[in-house]
Structure 1
Amino acid sequence: MSIHVNIPPGIKGLSEAQVNRSREEHGNNNQFNKTKHQWWSVLLDMLKEPMLVLLIAVAVLYLITGELGEAMFMLVAIVLVSGISFYQDNRNRKALEALEKLNEPLSKVIREGQLVEIPTHDIVVGDMLLIEEGNIVNADGEIVHSNDFMVDESALTGESYSVYKSETGNDNKVYSGTVVVSGLAICKVKNVGFGTRLGKLGESLHSIKEEATPLQVQIRKFVRVMAIAGIAVFLLVCLVNFLSGQSFTDSLLKGLTLAMSVLPEEIPVAFTTFMALGSWRLIKSGIIVKKISTVEALGSATVICTDKTGTITESSMRLQEVYAFSSRTSYSQDNAWSKEALEVIKVSMWASEPVPFDPMEKTLHEVYVQNADRDERPQFGMVHEYPLGGTPPMMTHVFEDAAGNRIIAAKGAPEAILDVSLQDKESRSSIESKVASLAARGYRVLGVARSEFKGTDFPEEQQALPFVFIGLIAFYDPPKANINSVFKGFYDAGIAVKMITGDNELTSKAIALQSGLRGAEETIDGKRLMQLDAAEMRKQVGHLTVFARMFPDAKLKAITALKESGHIVAMTGDGVNDAPALKASHIGIAMGQRGTEIAKSAAALIIADDDLSKMLDAVAMGRKIYANLKKAIQYIISIHIPIIGAVSLPLFLGWIYPNILTPVHVIFLELIMGPTCSIVYENEPMEKNTMQRPPRPFSTTFLLWHEMSVSVIQGLAITMGILFVYQLNVRLGGDEASTRTMVFTTLIIANIFLSLVNRSFYYPLTSSFNNRNYLMTAALSVTVVLLVIILYVPLVAQFFKVIPLSFEAISICLATGMVSVLWFELWKWLRRIKSKYSSDIQF
């Protein structure tokens, strides 16, 4: 992508042919050895899965006992289970690869005299790399041009301080992985990829793993506990069968059957699938997720802290008004700029970056070019720069031409400029009134000053220069057209919104009121905030919504205070100064278009088009993913309980037919459950009340007892149903085959109704039919067809050791399966009644 800027004379960069030659000779700028995906490595990993190991063990036992039909079925089951796992792994891998590709940063290089943005891996040796404040250096190079350039090299050296570098100094080298703290430089790339210092350390950096989230930890603990329980009951069943006179092989087979019924191997698969595909869905909507664990936190956000410029506002920065101190007059953009106004504009342009990236500075350059009799920029080069600094901030640039003529210009917060340039109290009071008047209209106001200085021993601080006040420039950056509805969406979802900006209080308040931000009447600035003690700060950040003149330490303090108050904090930002607060927040959100590389690096999410409404979509997606994952896992827990009961209770209770279900039946049920929980529920649409619920507490999960108890009760109700059918059939004189058929059929029917009922833990079953989840319809239809085939195709029925059921028997199974599940609809109805009188219901 080509970018229009002023490139210093003599720097042309590489041609396309030179780029290709360099790439052939030195390679691409890839700094990590990525393990190439191999299908066979996935299969090898699957062989480590407990369920597959159990299936193989059962297949071997069937072969030993000469039951070839059962052994073949187990082999088919192994292929199917492996196929489902392979399909899920492939889907997840593709989603994560797309995520990784989108997260790759872009770099600016000069090629054939044009500044262009390219993917970082496309940088080649010899490229002219342009790096500026907020960038991460993406290759090793040598500086050929710089403006007050400073770099933080702590990523390589461990020393956390800024290093000054220039093309004429002793230190003119830059290294990949370091961060530009201030200024701008153009560097000739010397090393890329593994040739860079970072490349040589890359493997150890790349191997660092992400910390597990609370839900991941609880899922691992739960699966571990169930695995231990599976081993215990496996040994117990083996012992009971053996002591009752069964052979060792038969006892082992029965023990493995129960172990398969206990192991909830679908849960970690469902978690990985939901998070990976959720991240992919967010990518498609314009939200780049850097860590898939962030998806889990999205639905818990209780407060979003947003900057003003470009997030709440359009970032158009139209030059609205100019106040010239020389004539004590304001000039509007509605009329042609006067000579006095143009002088203020000219000085403010010289105080801007020569290669502007800030919207205000771009506007100043454009207005200068449109109105100047002669463009003087090519004749002057920057010889010294004081970057934006101070509280409140200001910046100063020193330019000089070949004849030694010098321009020193400064701009910044009006109070900062007035402090260094105007001592006349009466004039200052008048100007402060003018600033307040402009700010109250929502304008972004900057003060402008010029200075003179001979020699090259510039003072260490810009404030020491002898400045003369020139005037004020006022920009208007109107709120985005949709921002009122965006804020309403956050409020409806129970999420507080706070504006944290570097602008002054009056401007911030005006824009907040125009944007529909609640509680905008009262404001506080960063200096006052920092003077509060910890308790008072927590009180104020919880109460106030507009925070002005916020510098990095103040932003970090505000975020920390919110976290200490129990909030789950999302924060948007785009600059270097936002990086600490972005990192400290639970969900750091960088802007894709305006965001600096360091902000994007610190953030967990990147909004590609800088549209805050996408954050609403992200919260909705986070809530939907969590809700659907909850449904899937609770379904898994509920359906595993009756399977365990059917396999173990007849044996332990000494009933007439102790081994009513065999490994064939259990694995058939497992094959139904796998796709249902990990594929079908993931495709469930968001429930209609999702964004009208309060955020869920992040520290709690649905694996806690008060949540799991519902699933356990569901599972026990189905268990009672199948045991009722078992005893009823026995009392009516039924043999083992008919009893097995009744139990198996009831369990399948209950599974079908459980899948439907668990689509919502609040709304009735009938409303779920409008969800249009075609995968659910397909999965349940296939289940019904397979049940009919098992019951009424003689060869299949013989294999499953079942018999065709009469209409009366099917009716009993259907009625029992329905009753054992549909009682849950009454529970949901009572919940809906209760929710009318309580706002604390969590769904």
Structure 2
Amino acid sequence: MPKNNFDISGLSQQQVLAAREKFGSNSLDYKKENGFLEAVKSLVKEPMVILLLVASTIYFISGDIGDGIFLASAIVLVATISLYQDSRSRDALEKLKNFTQPTCKVIRDGEIIEISSEELVLGDSLVIEEGTLVAADGTIVRSNDFSVNESILTGESLSVEKDANKEDNQVFRGTTVASGLAIATVTAIGNETKLGKIGKSLESIEEEETPLELQISNFVKKMVIAGAIVFLIVWGINFFKSHDVLDSLLKALTLAMSILPEEIPVAFTTFMALGAWRLMKMGIVVKQMKTVETLGSATVICTDKTGTITENKMSLAKVFVLGSDKISEPKDTLTDAEKNLIEIAMWASEPIPFDPMEIALHDTYAKIVSQDERPNFELVHEYPLGGKPPMMTHIFANKAGKRFIATKGAAEAIMNVSVLTETEKQKINEVIETLAKDGYRVLAVGEAQLDGNNYPTTQQEFKFGFKGLVAFYDPPKKNIQAVLNSFYRAGIDVKIITGDNAATTTAIAKQIGFKGHERSLTGDELMQLSETELQQRVKDTNLFTRMFPEAKLRIINALKAQNEVVAMTGDGVNDGPALKAAHIGIAMGKKGTEIAKQAASLILAEDDLSKMVDAVAMGRKIYTNLKKAIQYIISIHIPIVLTVFIPLALGWLFPNIFSPVHIIFLELIMGPTCSIIYENEPMEKNTMSQQPRPATNTFFSWKELTISIIQGLMITVGTLAIYQYSVHEGYNESLTRTLVFATLIIANIFLTLVNRSFYYSIFTTLMYKNNLVSLIISITLILLWLLIFVKPLANFFAFTPLTIEQLGICLGVGFISVIWFEVVKWWKRRKS
């Protein structure tokens, strides 16, 4: 179309700057909760912080000022670490929010440009078309067959027709365009919009807890209950022996601290938020944190063809005029009839095209005509894409009364509304078959005549003259074969769901080595199947053609009914229901409509399916690393709990080997180990060659819990063996404590290294690139050395310096209590 865009030039750059200066930006600013204060409130309620506070207070009351100050300092340190982790998570999510801001089109200086919705200003000429989200309130100045869904404001699900000449000529922020195209002058932005005034925003919708969050929450609650019960038992035992309320309370608090796995929820939030941030840096925008959790278990990816499998760079490649015996190319010398076919196909397109095929028709039209008629004609009526198979019809007229009633769509649809002989139908089908088997996307074109302006209700009521066929070529993406092979290696099925016909789709599928291209199913065939038949056919079929929204939705639901974890790519308005229904809805960042992006849970910024391979890999890596962290936490808590509890319960010589200061020091070492080291671990090399984990798998499976419990028990055996060795050698309580503590720290270091993989050996994982491993271990060893050999610290912790021989014993016992698991891993590798 001409550059004046319906004689609307829009604001100039100077006017835009002046409007922004005067009225501000198009953002909704509500009184938001202070994230830092909320984090502090949450922290005050943490059981560990409460226990530290109580223990610190008891020390101060009993006159043990040094220990009281240490625990008070520990509260500050725990708070700082928690607030830092919370801040990292919030920053990552805030950046994600900013990145997912919608875009819109405006006319400025006579040109249509795409901008961020926040950059809209009062007075802008906003271009809104089918599939977009209205970015501000405005008054319609031009429109074509325009309707809007205003359910976000009114609750009414039916779309409302609007026109510049009607009383209802207003559009409102947050509503979605159901059909047509309009240009509106922006009358309100930000908080002044209708949506802004009622304070209704998508940001206010809270996410529900995911199954994994619930499992972690339930596990931590159970541990808190267990801690409370054991706390009462230990308090009772100590009080019975000493009759000292404060002392017995302090010893019971020691055990309660050792039981609480408060690192687990922190690890979960950190892993998910930073995982989403890492994905965003890769060009994969995650709208909801729960998607990160689901990614790793995807079993089926349903993808459309155009723009996902193919380049989405449509070129008009072939034309066929009914009545001729040849298929021509636009670069050939075209006959008048062939030029007329291209012209009618162009009139059947949007006046401001955004579909690649329509852009190709407009471009070809501009090249073949001597006089461009587009500025002289106005779109007076539009029938949007609809029907099964789909078609669309546009009516253009000029001031002289000349009119084009042009239609294009699926060949079957245009043939159904045209008057054709059997011979003509046979010829058309032969040409379609010839073009489709070479991978061309074929559209039929028709033209109708009508006296007067009483347009029929539906486009199917016109009697069209069948003009011919236009064929487009959209080459497969160069990397698509490698992408498919990556999915296949990862045990993920790929299914193509497209509106295109079977022959074209099969030809493209064959070219790219797509598994299952031999068998296809159409939308109409699919809708006739019973639920039982549907589930079997959906399982066995990978190519779905001539699909429409209801059929796509049935496919997704049938796959979900078979416990498949379904990812679905889409870009159009019609993909919305299926994207919403899929476990992982994937919208295309460039060609995707705003409705598709709103319905999806994930957006590929570059429309590149290979990014989904990266996303699945990242999902699997995050899940695996989180599992390693939590298994580590469980394993290391067991020896701390039992080393505190067993000597007391069995009445050993030194019943209270650890005090709260020792426990909190161990907690401060373990927290960074799990959250920092394991979050930064690289993906294991076999991650993308494994089958997806079943969605029904629980995070805390008995098999994995058993491994963690056994690891913890083995470390306990090591620490208690050192305890008994020390007693046997006649060492005093201080030296016994030091030996046990050193053994526990050394075992913790080896456990960190061994649990970096539950399959590959420690020699393999030492080659993994994770600089934090050496840093954290070095810090841990330096701290251990300072506590034992720097006299003021050793006195404070009631430690005694160790000899080289004693350190060697601690090292040997700590090593043996953990390294046995390497034999289990070796056996696992040998079996597989």
Percent identity over paired residues: 55
User: Contact 2:522/2:545 (CA < 8 Å) preserved in 1?
Assistant: yes
- Cα deviation for residue 59 of structure 1 reads 1.7
Give secondary structure in 1 for the equivalent of 2:396.
Answer: strand
- Cα deviation for residue 153 of structure 1 reads 1.6
Give secondary structure in 1 for the equivalent of 2:414.
Answer: helix
Judge which range, 70-79 or 94-103, deviates more: 70-79
* 1:237 maps onto 2:248 in alignment: no
CA distance in 1, matches of 2:203, 2:165: 35
* 1:116 maps onto 2:113 in alignment: yes
Judge which range, 119-128 or 789-798, deviates more: 119-128
Match of 2:284 in 1: 287
From 321, 325, 329, give the equivalent of 1:324.
321
Match of 1:775 in 2: 772
Number of corresponding residues: 832
The alpha-carbon distance between structure 1 residues 203 and 320, as it changes in their structure 2 partners (threshold 3 A), is closer
Give secondary structure in 2 for the equivalent of 1:446.
Answer: strand
User: Contact 2:486/2:613 (CA < 8 Å) preserved in 1?
Assistant: yes
CA distance in 2, matches of 1:304, 1:144: 42
* 1:582 maps onto 2:579 in alignment: yes
2:670 aligned partner, one-letter code: M
Match of 1:742 in 2: 739
- Cα deviation for residue 34 of structure 1 reads 5.3
CA distance in 2, matches of 1:18, 1:332: 47
Match of 1:615 in 2: 612
User: Contact 1:5/1:356 (CA < 8 Å) preserved in 2?
Assistant: no
Indicate the RMSD between aligned Cα atoms, in angstroms: 1.5
- Cα deviation for residue 64 of structure 1 reads 1.5
* 1:273 maps onto 2:270 in alignment: yes
User: Contact 2:405/2:449 (CA < 8 Å) preserved in 1?
Assistant: yes
1:68 aligned partner, one-letter code: I
Instruction: Tell me the TM-score normalized by structure 1.
Output: 0.97
CA distance in 1, matches of 2:556, 2:29: 34
Match of 1:651 in 2: 648
The alpha-carbon distance between structure 1 residues 5 and 634, as it changes in their structure 2 partners (threshold 3 A), is farther
Q: Deviations over 1:520-561 (max 9, x none)?
A: 111110000110100110001110110000000000001110
1:499 aligned partner, one-letter code: I
Q: Deviations over 1:543-581 (max 9, x none)?
A: 011000000000000111011111000000000010100
User: Contact 1:575/1:599 (CA < 8 Å) preserved in 2?
Assistant: yes
Match of 1:559 in 2: 556
Match of 2:444 in 1: 447
The alpha-carbon distance between structure 1 residues 204 and 371, as it changes in their structure 2 partners (threshold 3 A), is closer
Judge which range, 45-54 or 580-589, deviates more: 45-54
Match of 2:811 in 1: 814
From 663, 673, 676, give the equivalent of 1:676.
673
1:345 aligned partner, one-letter code: I
**What stretches of structure 1 of length at least 5 have no aligned partner?**
836-843
CA distance in 2, matches of 1:289, 1:581: 18
Judge which range, 480-489 or 194-203, deviates more: 194-203
CA distance in 2, matches of 1:701, 1:678: 21
* 1:600 maps onto 2:575 in alignment: no
- Cα deviation for residue 404 of structure 1 reads 1.1
Match of 1:197 in 2: 194
CA distance in 1, matches of 2:418, 2:38: 69
User: Contact 2:389/2:413 (CA < 8 Å) preserved in 1?
Assistant: yes
The alpha-carbon distance between structure 1 residues 796 and 613, as it changes in their structure 2 partners (threshold 3 A), is same
Match of 1:533 in 2: 530
- Cα deviation for residue 203 of structure 1 reads 4.5
User: Contact 1:422/1:428 (CA < 8 Å) preserved in 2?
Assistant: no
User: Contact 1:383/1:400 (CA < 8 Å) preserved in 2?
Assistant: yes
The alpha-carbon distance between structure 1 residues 332 and 12, as it changes in their structure 2 partners (threshold 3 A), is closer
- Cα deviation for residue 40 of structure 1 reads 5.1
Match of 2:401 in 1: 404
The alpha-carbon distance between structure 1 residues 781 and 399, as it changes in their structure 2 partners (threshold 3 A), is same
- Cα deviation for residue 25 of structure 1 reads 4.1
Match of 1:340 in 2: 337
Judge which range, 395-404 or 38-47, deviates more: 38-47
Match of 1:838 in 2: none
From 98, 101, 105, give the equivalent of 1:101.
98
CA distance in 2, matches of 1:125, 1:329: 54
User: Contact 2:344/2:447 (CA < 8 Å) preserved in 1?
Assistant: yes
User: Contact 1:154/1:178 (CA < 8 Å) preserved in 2?
Assistant: yes
CA distance in 1, matches of 2:6, 2:349: 19
Match of 1:840 in 2: none
Q: Deviations over 1:76-112 (max 9, x none)?
A: 2222212211221221121111100111100111222
CA distance in 2, matches of 1:337, 1:755: 73
Q: Deviations over 1:178-236 (max 9, x none)?
A: 11111000111222222222223335754331111111000000111111112222222
CA distance in 1, matches of 2:710, 2:29: 50
* 1:175 maps onto 2:172 in alignment: yes
CA distance in 2, matches of 1:5, 1:185: 16
User: Contact 2:3/2:111 (CA < 8 Å) preserved in 1?
Assistant: no
1:433 aligned partner, one-letter code: E
- Cα deviation for residue 52 of structure 1 reads 1.8
1:278-677 matches, cutoff 5 A: 278-677=275-674
- Cα deviation for residue 171 of structure 1 reads 1.8
1:76-225 matches, cutoff 5 A: 76-203=73-200, 206-225=203-222
- Cα deviation for residue 600 of structure 1 reads 0.4
1:457 aligned partner, one-letter code: N
The alpha-carbon distance between structure 1 residues 205 and 91, as it changes in their structure 2 partners (threshold 3 A), is closer
CA distance in 2, matches of 1:125, 1:586: 39
CA distance in 1, matches of 2:500, 2:350: 20
User: Contact 2:195/2:201 (CA < 8 Å) preserved in 1?
Assistant: no
User: Contact 1:327/1:340 (CA < 8 Å) preserved in 2?
Assistant: no
From 781, 791, 813, give the equivalent of 1:784.
781
Match of 2:830 in 1: 833
CA distance in 1, matches of 2:243, 2:315: 88
CA distance in 1, matches of 2:627, 2:637: 15
CA distance in 2, matches of 1:204, 1:376: 44
User: Contact 2:134/2:171 (CA < 8 Å) preserved in 1?
Assistant: yes
Match of 1:64 in 2: 61
CA distance in 2, matches of 1:698, 1:304: 15
- Cα deviation for residue 36 of structure 1 reads 6.3
Q: Deviations over 1:270-327 (max 9, x none)?
A: 0000000000110111100000110000010000000000000011111111001243
CA distance in 2, matches of 1:551, 1:146: 26
CA distance in 2, matches of 1:205, 1:333: 47
Match of 1:27 in 2: 24
Give secondary structure in 2 for the equivalent of 1:409.
Answer: strand
CA distance in 1, matches of 2:544, 2:153: 36
Give secondary structure in 1 for the equivalent of 2:443.
Answer: strand
Give secondary structure in 1 for the equivalent of 2:199.
Answer: helix
Give secondary structure in 2 for the equivalent of 1:332.
Answer: coil
**What stretches of structure 2 of length at least 5 have no aligned partner?**
none
Instruction: Tell me the TM-score normalized by structure 2.
Output: 0.98
Give secondary structure in 2 for the equivalent of 1:321.
Answer: strand
- Cα deviation for residue 45 of structure 1 reads 3.5
Judge which range, 33-42 or 11-20, deviates more: 33-42
Give secondary structure in 1 for the equivalent of 2:556.
Answer: helix
